[in-house]
């Protein structure tokens, strides 16, 4: 007998990344630029603080919303970095990574059939999470021409009477796109006019380069009351495995999200929460150091890619570059598979992030410089061969 899986789950495709990962796993000595997590271990002072907390026997449940001290730290942090004010008692929820917070906010918001707009190429979980929450996922294509930013025109065109929410992710995984405060103001005005709730995943906000600073749409006029700010410790603090994310939103919505969180998760692990307090309160210097390292690697990889004839914008945020592979005349999946089998370099096909990712591959520069250098040498050899064949 085979167990019948629920229809709505069966209809969801597997993540394209996971698909690709399974091919990579069968091979040895692969240099991977496919990794969406920092190659740094969590800074020692953060790990040490977690060890200390464990030694003191801090191993129990926490409040459903998260440790009060952590929520205060988050409130201070968000005030300092985003110039936004959230009440730690009622407007902040600590989740198991940002992924859970995205899921919670969608489940708390959507009635069956409500439409959620999101820009694409985007992180792999958005569309499936919307579907699982009973919503209708509606992608808005972005293009290299616009630097993969969401344009007001394309948003306006996509809005329908069923549209309930808009999901944003700037800096963007996988494109590295960023939006300036002016860009965001134009989007915000449309959201206010059409009464859209905005879920903004700003997990890469600390990783902005060239001295630029991050702007949050929540800071635009009329937005804080309709925005869920989603963030976490994974990327900037190199804390992926600790699984600590958070949501900042109006109290009514946080309360609704808390109900789901309470019954499905109870609370985020206390070890991660204790580590997060140390990270937020004393981690600024570690973050600055890592940011500079990423920025230098970005310079390196962008220079190398352009030199070998893969046109590549210099991203102002995230740790991804999204070079254009159309000069080689191969679809992104075939390009990636051939690169993997011929040169043992793993990149992620752009189509893993939605059909509009075709013609691009995602390369992560969250990998050590010697590895990046070797990968670029191999990629250049591969590119040379492809060009000759074309």
Partner 1 sequence: MMPGFMDALIDLLQQNALMPRADMARLLDLTPENLEARIAGLEAKGIILGYQAIINREMWDLDKVTAIIEVKITPERDGGFDRIASRIAKFEEVQSCYLVSGGYDLLIVIEASNLRNAAAFVAEKLSTIDAVQATATHFRLKTYKENGAFHQIDSAAERLAVSP
Beta carbon nearer to partner 1, 82 or 294: 294
First to last CA, the chain: 51
Cα separation, 215 vs 205, whole angstroms: 8
Beta carbon nearer to partner 1, 123 or 242: 123
> Is position 37 an interface residue for partner 1 (rule: CB under 8 A)?
yes
Cα separation, 267 vs 248, whole angstroms: 16
> Is position 21 an interface residue for partner 1 (rule: CB under 8 A)?
yes
The one among 9, 12, 41, 54 contacting partner 1 by CB under 8 A: 41
Pairing of strands 227-232, 244-248: antiparallel
Binding positions for partner 1, 333-372, rule CB under 8 A? 346, 348, 369
172, 179, 201, 204: which is closest to 38 by C-alpha?
204
Cα separation, 66 vs 76, whole angstroms: 15
Beta carbon nearer to partner 1, 123 or 328: 123
Full strand arrangement of the beta sheet holding 361-364: 320-321, 361-364, 348-349
Residue 247 Cβ, how far from partner 1 at the closest point, in Å? 19
Q: Are the beta carbons of 96 and 248 closer than 8 angstroms?
A: no
Beta carbon nearer to partner 1, 73 or 178: 178
> Is position 25 an interface residue for partner 1 (rule: CB under 8 A)?
yes
Cα separation, 203 vs 314, whole angstroms: 19
Beta carbon nearer to partner 1, 19 or 225: 19
Residue 110 Cβ, how far from partner 1 at the closest point, in Å? 22
Cα separation, 20 vs 24, whole angstroms: 6
Binding positions for partner 1, 114-173, rule CB under 8 A? 123-125, 173
The one among 32, 129, 175, 356 contacting partner 1 by CB under 8 A: 32
Buried b / exposed e over 188-208, threshold 16 CB at 10 Å, is beebbeeebbbbbbbbbbbbb
Binding mask 195-224 for partner 1 (x = CB under 8 A): --------------xxx-------------
> Is position 59 an interface residue for partner 1 (rule: CB under 8 A)?
no
Beta carbon nearer to partner 1, 246 or 320: 320
> Is position 34 an interface residue for partner 1 (rule: CB under 8 A)?
yes
Classify residue 234 by burial, with Cβ atoms within 10 Å: 0-12, 13-18, 19+. Answer: buried
The one among 17, 109, 187, 196 contacting partner 1 by CB under 8 A: 17
> Is position 300 an interface residue for partner 1 (rule: CB under 8 A)?
yes
Beta carbon nearer to partner 1, 336 or 356: 336
Instruction: Kindly report the number of other CB atoms within 10 A of residue 66's CB atom.
Output: 26
> Is position 20 an interface residue for partner 1 (rule: CB under 8 A)?
yes
The one among 39, 201, 202, 274 contacting partner 1 by CB under 8 A: 39
Residue 191 Cβ, how far from partner 1 at the closest point, in Å? 26
The one among 304, 321, 361, 375 contacting partner 1 by CB under 8 A: 304
What is the three-class DSSP state of 193?
A: helix
What is the three-class DSSP state of 139?
A: strand
Phi, then psi, of 244 in degrees rounded to 5: -120, 120
Residue 279 Cβ, how far from partner 1 at the closest point, in Å? 18
- 86-94, 200-208, 251-259, 299-307 -> range binding partner 1 (CB under 8 A): 299-307
DSSP state of 324: B
> Is position 260 an interface residue for partner 1 (rule: CB under 8 A)?
no
Instruction: Kindly report the number of other CB atoms within 10 A of residue 247's CB atom.
Output: 29
Per CB under 8 A, residues contacting partner 1 are 15, 17, 20-21, 24-25, 30, 32, 34-37, 39, 41, 123-125, 173, 209-211, 292, 295-297, 299-300, 303-304, 346, 348, 369, 373
């Amino acid at each position: 007998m085979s167990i019948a899986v629920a229809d709505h789950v069966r209809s969801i495709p597997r993540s394209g990344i996971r698909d690709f990962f399974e091919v990579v796993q069968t091979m040895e000595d692969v240099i991977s630029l496919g990794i969406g997590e920092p190659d740094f271990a969590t800074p020692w002072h953060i790990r040490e603080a977690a060890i200390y907390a464990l030694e003191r026997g801090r191993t129990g449940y926490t409040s459903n919303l998260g440790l009060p001290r952590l929520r205060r730290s988050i409130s201070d942090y968000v005030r300092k970095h985003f110039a936004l004010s959230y009440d730690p008692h009622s407007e902040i929820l600590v989740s198991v990574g940002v992924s859970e917070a995205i899921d919670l906010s969608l489940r708390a918001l959507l009635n069956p059939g409500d439409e959620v707009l999101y820009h694409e190429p985007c992180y792999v979980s958005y569309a499936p999470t919307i579907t699982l929450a009973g919503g209708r996922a509606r992608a808005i294509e972005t293009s290299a021409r616009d630097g993969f930013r969401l344009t007001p025109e394309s948003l306006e065109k996509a809005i329908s009477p069923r549209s309930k929410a808009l999901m944003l992710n700037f800096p963007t995984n996988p494109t590295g796109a960023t939006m300036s405060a002016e860009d965001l103001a134009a989007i915000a005005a449309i959201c206010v006019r059409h009464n859209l709730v905005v879920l903004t995943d700003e997990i890469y906000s600390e990783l902005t380069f060239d001295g630029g600073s991050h702007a949050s749409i929540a800071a635009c006029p009329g937005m804080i009351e309709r925005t869920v700010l989603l963030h976490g410790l994974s990327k900037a603090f190199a804390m992926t495995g600790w699984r600590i994310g958070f949501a900042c939103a109006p109290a009514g919505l946080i309360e609704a999200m808390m109900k789901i969180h309470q019954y499905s998760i109870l609370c985020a692990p206390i070890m991660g929460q204790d580590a997060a307090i140390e990270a937020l309160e004393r981690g600024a210097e570690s973050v600055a150091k890592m940011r500079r390292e990423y920025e230098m690697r970005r310079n390196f990889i962008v220079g190398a890619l352009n030199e070998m004839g893969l046109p590549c914008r210099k991203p102002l945020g995230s740790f991804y570059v999204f070079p254009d592979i159309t000069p080689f005349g191969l679809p992104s999946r075939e390009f990636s598979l051939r690169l993997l089998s011929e040169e043992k370099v793993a990149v992620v096909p752009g189509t893993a992030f939605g059909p509009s990712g075709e013609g691009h591959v995602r390369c992560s520069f969250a990998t050590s410089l010697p590895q990046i250098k070797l990968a670029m040498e191999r990629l250049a050899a591969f590119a040379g061969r492809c060009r000759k064949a074309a």
